[in-house]
């Protein structure tokens, strides 16, 4: 006969054994596929997933978008950013200068025609070309609408607008800006002398008068080139 302590131990062990779970037999005709295990994303995979998302730095998101570049002169914003934008748009800003130079060269070729080839229509063409090249900077050559705009305080001189735009980031006493403004005055004065000379020339135009206008025209082209260089200095290009 076994001792009572052994019986107690055996009985306790039987109660502690796990009960077999009942699983219904699989049907021979119906096969159910077991669901795929739900694997958690590891830290490494999560880091890769996070790094694959393109995000902007928080300071950039909180920063207001930079102002669009325009010909307005009241632009405010980071000076370095604006300076780079001005450099990129320098070709556009200087386009009127280049166009005026081409117009002056066309007028010069007309003036250089021989006596037999040059006629009254050519002289009228020269006058129109010179007025166009001056870009509304000579008050005597402005039409009534442009003159009305000027009287209302609107800046109509294209070359003056170019200086204001190119030098808008420079101090008023900056030597580069002052030099650009001085060359602007020289250019406007040169156009005024040239166009005034053409207006005062009587028909028929003699060869000596044409040569005198051609010389003044060459001086104007030289002034235009000097002006263009000062604008480039303002833009640092």
Average pLDDT over residues 208-237: 96
Which tops the pLDDT comparison, 39 or 112?
A: 112
Token pair belonging to 140: 């005597």
Is the model's pLDDT at 8 over the cut of 80?
no
Which tops the pLDDT comparison, 34 or 163?
A: 163
Domain that holds residue 116: 79-235
- Rounded to whole angstroms, the Cα distance separating 112 from 205 reads 13
Residue 228 placed within a domain: yes
**Do residues 177 and 170 make contact, with C-beta atoms less than 8 angstroms apart?**
yes
- Rounded to whole angstroms, the Cα distance separating 12 from 3 reads 15
Residue 223 placed within a domain: yes
Residue 114 placed within a domain: yes
What pLDDT does residue 6 have?
Answer: 43
Residue 163 placed within a domain: yes
Token pair belonging to 148: 């009305």
Indicate whether this model's pTM tops 0.75.
Answer: no
Is the model's pLDDT at 40 over the cut of 90?
no
For 56-85, how does the pLDDT look when each residue is reduced to its tens digit (9 = 90+)? Answer: 333 333 344 444 433 444 445 588 888 888
Q: What are phi and psi of 175, to 5 degrees?
A: -60, -35
Residues near 227 by beta carbon (within 8 Å), at least 6 away in sequence: 97, 159, 180, 183, 184, 186, 187
Q: List alpha helices for the chain, DSSP H.
A: 4-16, 43-51, 58-62, 79-88, 90-93, 95-111, 120-133, 144-151, 158-166, 175-200, 207-235
Lowest mean pLDDT among 5-9, 135-139, 147-151: 5-9
Residue 30 placed within a domain: no
Lowest mean pLDDT among 90-104, 161-175, 199-213: 199-213
| Chain Cα centroid distance, residue 99 | 20
Residue 46 placed within a domain: no
User: What's the whole-number average pLDDT of the chain?
Assistant: 77
Band (pLDDT 50/70/90 cuts) for residue 220 is very high
- Rounded to whole angstroms, the Cα distance separating 144 from 165 reads 26
For 120-134, how does the pLDDT look when each residue is reduced to its tens digit (9 = 90+)? Answer: 899 999 999 999 999
Please give the tally of structural domains in the chain.
1
Residue 128 placed within a domain: yes
Is the model's pLDDT at 9 over the cut of 90?
no
Residue 45 placed within a domain: no
Sign of CA dihedral 125, 162, 223, 225: negative
């Amino acid at each position: 006969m076994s001792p009572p302590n052994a019986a107690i131990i055996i009985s306790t062990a039987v109660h502690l054994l796990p009960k077999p779970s009942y699983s219904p037999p699989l049907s021979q005709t119906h096969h159910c596929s077991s669901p795929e295990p739900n694997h958690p994303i590891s830290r490494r995979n999560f880091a890769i997933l996070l790094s694959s998302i393109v995000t902007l730095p928080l300071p950039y998101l909180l920063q207001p978008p930079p102002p669009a570049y325009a010909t307005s002169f009241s632009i405010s914003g980071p000076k370095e950013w604006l300076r780079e934008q001005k450099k990129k748009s320098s070709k556009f800003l200087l386009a009127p200068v280049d166009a005026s130079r081409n117009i002056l060269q066309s007028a010069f070729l007309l003036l250089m025609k021989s006596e037999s080839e040059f006629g009254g229509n050519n002289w009228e063409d020269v006058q129109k070309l010179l007025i166009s090249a001056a870009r509304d900077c000579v008050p005597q050559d402005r039409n009534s609408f442009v003159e009305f705009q000027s009287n209302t305080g609107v800046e109509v001189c294209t070359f003056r607008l170019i200086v204001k735009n190119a030098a808008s980031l420079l101090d008023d006493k900056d030597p580069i800006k002052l030099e650009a403004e001085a060359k602007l005055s020289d250019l406007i004065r040169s156009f005024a002398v040239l166009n005034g000379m053409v207006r005062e020339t009587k028909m028929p135009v003699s060869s000596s008068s044409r040569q005198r206008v051609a010389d003044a025209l060459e001086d104007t082209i030289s002034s235009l080139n000097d002006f263009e260089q000062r604008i480039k200095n303002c833009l640092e290009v």
